């Protein structure tokens, strides 16, 4: 998906100042964002958050649905990140300038590595139920100029125990490794809990973690988790206690704290405001991000850059 906000803020993220070195349990409310036009989809954005900008390299998290909606995101660019598309219900067709055309369904992963630059579009069937998440992973400087590429993983590995199953989308959990390409040590996993489940999920003390509910109510370290907010868990944990009275589905995100400072604006990640300005100019000039075959939609114009010096805006989200 795209960040379709009309006046996106430029956010400086990363660095270790926000990272809790010890276990914490902080419930972070998301904010609602309307994506696109009169038939807008509503999403709840929990990353970046005013308090916590990133969780490992995870730097963007939109949760949506379940609701009847139509996703129609025209061609738009990305730089310096990976987009991770994960559905609970519905289907979305991805097309990109490399010629990829791939439907993603629940339980499958669409992973697009923008690297130095890519453009793509996303469409869902008209007025069908949509329910899922759109996540971004920031690329470290050593790999952010990588050639853009697209991966579809229809089958992913999982680990299971009494009352739970964890599908590993990205990275590693409990020794189970996703085949998806990653560039920093991290994990993204969907954990389904049976009714009455009480389980401990293995974690790495050097990672920071967060969890959100995709459906149902669960308790993570005794904190009640319903769809909407993100529970930030900090670092220093070797396991996570999960309980559910009724079936529930959680998303677990984690990773090594991302030390580099990054600058995010609209659909770009760079390292400076000047670089973001250059990305925007390249996209509007229409010559370096390719064209997306198979869609009649006109490319999405970039919003205007903020006119006020960015640093004076302080830590707005
Ligand atoms: Mn996108």
Three state DSSP letters for the chain? CCCCCCCCCCEEEECCCCCCCCEEEEEECCEEEEECCCCCEEEEEEECCCCCCCECCEEEEEEEEEEEECCEEEEEEEECEEEEEEEEECCEEEEECCCCEEEECCCCEEEEECCCCEEEEEECCCCEEEEEEEEEEECCCCCCCCCCEEEEECCCCEEEECCEEEEEEEEEECCEECCCCCCCCEEEEEEEECCCEEEEEECCCCCEEEEEEEECCEEECCEEECECCEEEEECCCCEEEEEECCCEEEEEEEECCCCCEEEEECCEEECCHHHHHHHHHHHHHCCCCCCCCCCCCCCCCCCCCCCCCHHHHCCCC
State yes or no: pLDDT of 308 exceeds 60. Answer: no
Mean pLDDT value across residues 1-27 = 84
- pLDDT for 165 equals 98
- pLDDT for 13 equals 87
Instruction: Provide the pLDDT confidence category of residue 18 given band limits of 50, 70 and 90.
Output: confident
Mean pLDDT value across residues 226-233 = 97
Pick the closest to residue 299 from 76, 63, 11 (CA basis): 76
**What's the gap in Å between 217 CA and the centre of ligand 1?**
29
Query: What global pTM score does this model have?
Result: 0.94
- pLDDT for 316 equals 43
CA distances to 65, 87, 93, 210, 255 from 236, in Å:
33, 30, 39, 13, 12
Pick the closest to residue 172 from 162, 161, 163, 182 (CA basis): 182
Instruction: Provide the pLDDT confidence category of residue 39 given band limits of 50, 70 and 90.
Output: low
State yes or no: pLDDT of 147 exceeds 90. Answer: yes
**What's the gap in Å between 304 CA and the centre of ligand 1?**
18
State yes or no: pLDDT of 24 exceeds 90. Answer: yes
- Return the CATH architecture of domain 30-261: Sandwich (2.60)
How many whole angstroms separate alpha carbon 34 and alpha carbon 300?
16
- pLDDT for 314 equals 45
**What's the gap in Å between 112 CA and the centre of ligand 1?**
9
For 310, list phi and psi in degrees, rounded to 5. Answer: -65, -35
- pLDDT for 100 equals 98
| Residue for token pair 């999960």 | 242
**What's the gap in Å between 28 CA and the centre of ligand 1?**
24
Measure CA of the first residue to CA of the last residue in the chain; give whole Å.
19
Please give the share of the chain, as a percent, with pLDDT higher than 90.
83
Q: Which pair of tokens denotes residue 217?
A: 């109510």
Residue 101: exposed, middle, or buried by beta-carbon count in 10 A (0-12, 13-18, 19+)? middle
**What's the gap in Å between 266 CA and the centre of ligand 1?**
10
- pLDDT for 309 equals 47
**What's the gap in Å between 83 CA and the centre of ligand 1?**
7
**What's the gap in Å between 17 CA and the centre of ligand 1?**
28
Mean residue pLDDT across the chain: 93
**What's the gap in Å between 242 CA and the centre of ligand 1?**
32
Q: Which pair of tokens denotes residue 243?
A: 């309980």
How many whole angstroms separate alpha carbon 28 and alpha carbon 230?
5
- pLDDT for 317 equals 38
State yes or no: pLDDT of 267 exceeds 80. Answer: yes
**What's the gap in Å between 92 CA and the centre of ligand 1?**
12
**What's the gap in Å between 197 CA and the centre of ligand 1?**
36
Q: Which pair of tokens denotes residue 11?
A: 């956010």
- pLDDT for 36 equals 65
**What's the gap in Å between 248 CA and the centre of ligand 1?**
28
Give pLDDT tens digits for 49-99: 988 999 999 999 999 999 998 898 999 999 999 999 999 999 999 999 999
Q: Which pair of tokens denotes residue 240?
A: 């996570």
State yes or no: pLDDT of 171 exceeds 50. Answer: yes
**What's the gap in Å between 243 CA and the centre of ligand 1?**
34
- pLDDT for 263 equals 95
- pLDDT for 298 equals 94
**What's the gap in Å between 208 CA and the centre of ligand 1?**
25
For 282, list phi and psi in degrees, rounded to 5. Answer: -65, -40
Number of Cβ atoms within 10 Å of the Cβ of 131:
18
Instruction: Provide the pLDDT confidence category of residue 43 given band limits of 50, 70 and 90.
Output: very high
For 75, list phi and psi in degrees, rounded to 5. Answer: -55, 135
Pick the closest to residue 86 from 249, 293, 228 (CA basis): 249
**What's the gap in Å between 27 CA and the centre of ligand 1?**
27
């Amino acid at each position: 998906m795209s960040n379709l906000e009309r006046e996106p803020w430029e956010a400086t993220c990363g660095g270790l100042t926000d990272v809790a070195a010890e276990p914490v349990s902080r419930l972070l409310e998301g904010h609602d964002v309307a994506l696109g036009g009169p038939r807008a989809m509503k999403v709840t954005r929990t990353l970046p958050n005013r308090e916590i900008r990133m969780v490992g390299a995870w730097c963007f998290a939109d949760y949506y649905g379940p609701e009847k909606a139509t996703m129609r995101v025209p061609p738009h660019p990305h730089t310096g990140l990976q987009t991770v598309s994960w559905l609970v219900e519905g289907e979305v067709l991805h097309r990109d300038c490399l010629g990829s055309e791939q439907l993603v369904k629940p339980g499958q992963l669409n992973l697009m590595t923008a690297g130095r630059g890519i453009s793509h579009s996303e469409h869902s069937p008209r007025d069908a139920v949509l329910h899922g998440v759109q996540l971004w992973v920031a690329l470290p400087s050593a790999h952010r100029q990588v050639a853009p590429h697209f991966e579809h993983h229809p089958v992913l590995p999982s680990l299971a125990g009494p009352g739970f199953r964890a599908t590993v989308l990205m990275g590693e959990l409990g020794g189970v490794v996703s085949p998806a390409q990653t560039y920093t040590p991290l994990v993204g996993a969907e954990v389904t809990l049976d009714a009455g489940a009480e389980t401990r999920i293995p974690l790495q003390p050097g990672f920071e973690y967060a969890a959100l509910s995709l459906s149902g109510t669960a308790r993570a370290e005794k904190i009640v988790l319903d769809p909407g907010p993100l529970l930030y868990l900090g670092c220093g944990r070797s396991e996570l206690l999960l309980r559910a009275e009724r079936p529930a589905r959680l998303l677990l995100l984690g990773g090594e704290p991302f030390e580099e400072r990054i600058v995010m604006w609209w659909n770009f990640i760079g390292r400076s405001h000047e670089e973001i300005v250059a990305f925007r100019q390249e996209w509007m000039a229409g010559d370096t991000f390719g064209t997306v075959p198979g869609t009649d939609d006109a490319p999405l114009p970039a919003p205007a850059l903020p006119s006020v010096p960015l640093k004076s805006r302080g830590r707005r989200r």
